[in-house]
Amino acid sequence: MFGGKKRRSTVVDTLVGQNTKVQGDIQFSGGFHVDGVIQGNIEAEADSASVLSISEDGMVEGSVSVPHVILNGTVKGDVSAKERVELGTNARVIGNVYYNLIEMAIGAEVNGKLIHEASKHATSIYETNAQSTSPETLQQRPVLEQ
């Protein structure tokens, strides 16, 4: 999106047009593109491959919880992406951003905290490593004499 890298294109299943205002929470799957205004929360299943894209004309007044978020507009609420968040030049988040991977262009604004949340796979690897180096485990290991 930002560095000229070629990305796979996402099919847009749902579109909120520039002259449209939606009031209420939205649950979706697949691709969802917002050019208008949504007053409510947007949610997709965490284990899905769903993508939310918000153009520079788009605005969401509510929280966003979608695996992959491409933001170039405004979100007034928390953004949670279990996979990836891409913040474009005109992106504005007034709230916290919870992410696994994040990409920010120069000019993007986050008026809140950036909070890294590792994926389930990375968390399970960390927990396995933490268990193997716990004090109890280390005490049980034999000491090699030199």
DSSP element (H, E) containing 135: helix 135-140
Per-residue tokens: 20: 């449209």
Q: What is the pLDDT of residue 120?
A: 63
pLDDT band at 125 (very low <50, low <70, confident <90, very high): very low
Domain count across the chain: 1
Instruction: Give 65 or 136, the one with higher predicted confidence.
Output: 65
* Within a domain: 144: no
What average pLDDT does the chain have? 84
* Within a domain: 2: no
* Within a domain: 1: no
* Within a domain: 6: no
- This prediction has a pTM of 0.76
Give the percent of the chain with pLDDT over 70: 75
Q: What is the pLDDT of residue 130?
A: 52
* Within a domain: 104: yes
- Residues spanned by the domain of 98: 14-138
Rounded Cα gap, residues 62 and 71, in angstroms: 14
In tens, the pLDDT along 77-113 reads 999 999 999 999 999 999 999 999 999 999 999 999 9
Q: What is the pLDDT of residue 126?
A: 46
